[in-house]
Each structure stands twice: as C-alpha cells, then as structure tokens.
Copies of this chain bind each other. A is one copy, B any other.
Amino acid sequence: MSELSLLLVVDLVGIAVFAASGATAGVAKRLDLFGVVFVGFMAALGGGILRDVFVNVQPFAFVDWRYAAVAVVTSAATFWLHPTVSRLHWTVLVLDAAGLGLFTVTGTLKALDAGIPPVGACIIGMITGIGGGLIRDLLTGEIPTVLRREIYAVAGLLGCASVAALDALHMQRPVSIALAAVLVFVLRMIALRRNWSAPTAT
C-alpha cells in the first residue's frame, strides 16, 4: 500500500470512529434516524469543515464523496447496532485517540500549507481534532465535554506544536506526521489510564 493510500485509510477509520461517537450521542438523545446520521456526519467531518473554512477552501468533506459515505454508513450502522457499539466502549476510545492524533496533525500541516503561520496553524489543527465533538455536543444540547474534563485537546495541541516544529526543521512529512500523531495517541492513552484531568478553578 502506498503512503498516500495508507493515510487515506487511516483518515477514513478516524472518520468512522468519530461518526460512531456522534451517532451514539444522537441515539442517547432519542433523535430519529436522520438526526442520528446528521450528528454522526457532523461529529466526523465538522472539525475538517471548520479547518477548510478557516484556511479558506471548499471543505474536503463535500468535495470527496468517500468521506461523506463513510460517515453516513457508520452513523446509520450505529443507529441499528448501538448496543454493540456501546459494548465496544474501550475500543472506541482507543480508535478515537488515534483519530485525534491524525486529525490534529494533518490539520496543522494543511493550515501551514495554506500559508497560515505556525501559532494559528496549531490552533486550526487542534480545532480540526476537537471541532466535530464540539458540534456534536452543541447539537445534542450539552456543554462540550472537551471543555470540561480530561486531557484531550491539550494532547492534540502538543501534537500540533510538534509537527509544526518538525516541519520547520524540514523533516519528511510521513515521518513527522507519524511521530506527532503517535505522541498525541500515547498522551491521550496515558491520560485515560491514569484519569489525568486539567485543573478547574477554585
């Protein structure tokens, strides 16, 4: 498998996992089939849509039908199979961490390539990773989870900074993507295992 098609497959797996998380939230809120698929679609692709709006191009989610197809099919499958999906709780968390790592890192590079300076590119990269979950929570009437607990966005942000630094040092893209995405994944897994949280104000 070529590098490019490997990246595509990993990308689509991440989208499927994010779609499943959105669809599960929709089922929990008793949305109908359309609502479940819509929330799943937005959870999967909302972060990338925000990224593309900010770098000022037509969102990839609308340009390449495979992204929409994976999001819709996964969401619809979750609608019917949600008890099974719930039982896969830990598997979903692990794949979600992988998706977070990939989306934040590739989002940062896409922003850099569009001429956004490093600080802004890192913020856009982070929004690529957390934006879908934010939209999912807003659509289902919740204060976004990512703002309340656990090390999630911060792990993504460290990956963004790493890939921006490695890119400035002219490291080859596949290597820098892999290193930074693995960093995010490992941080997120450790945070989950040890119940790390960001502090709240006293």
A27 touches B115 (CB 8 A): no
Among the stretches A8-16, A165-173, A176-184, A194-202, the one at the interface with B is: A194-202
Write the chain B residue with the least CB distance to A56.
B58
A149 touches B32 (CB 8 A): yes
A-B contacts besides A56-B56, A62-B111, 7 pairs, CB < 8 Å: A33-B201, A34-B147, A38-B146, A53-B53, A68-B120, A138-B138, A139-B147
B153 touches A144 (CB 8 A): no
Determine if A190 is an interface residue (Cβ-Cβ < 8 Å): no
Determine if A116 is an interface residue (Cβ-Cβ < 8 Å): yes
A59 to B117, CA, bound (A): 12
Which residues from chain B contact A148 at a C-beta distance below 8 Å?
30-32, 35
- Ordered by A's residue number, 17 sampled pairs between the chains whose C-beta atoms are within 8 Å are A30-B201, A31-B148, A31-B200, A32-B197, A32-B198, A32-B200, A33-B198, A33-B200, A33-B201, A34-B146, A39-B147, A53-B53, A56-B57, A62-B120, A69-B119, A139-B143, A140-B143
How does the 8 Å CB contact mask read for A42-84 relative to B, with 1 for contact and 0 for none? 0000000100011111110111110011000000000110100
A154 touches B34 (CB 8 A): yes
Among A35, A58, A201: residue with most chain B CB under 10 A: A201
Determine if A123 is an interface residue (Cβ-Cβ < 8 Å): yes
A69 to B116, CA, bound (A): 15
Classify chain A: how many residues form its interface, as a range. 35 or more
Which residues from chain B contact A41 at a C-beta distance below 8 Å?
123
B34 touches A116 (CB 8 A): no
Determine if A36 is an interface residue (Cβ-Cβ < 8 Å): yes
Chain A interface residues (CB < 8 Å from chain B)? 26-27, 29-36, 38-39, 41, 49, 53-59, 61-65, 68-69, 79-80, 82, 111, 114-121, 123-124, 134, 138-144, 146-149, 153-154, 197-201
Among A58, A80, A114, A149: residue with most chain B CB under 10 A: A58
Write the chain B residue with the least CB distance to A31.
B147
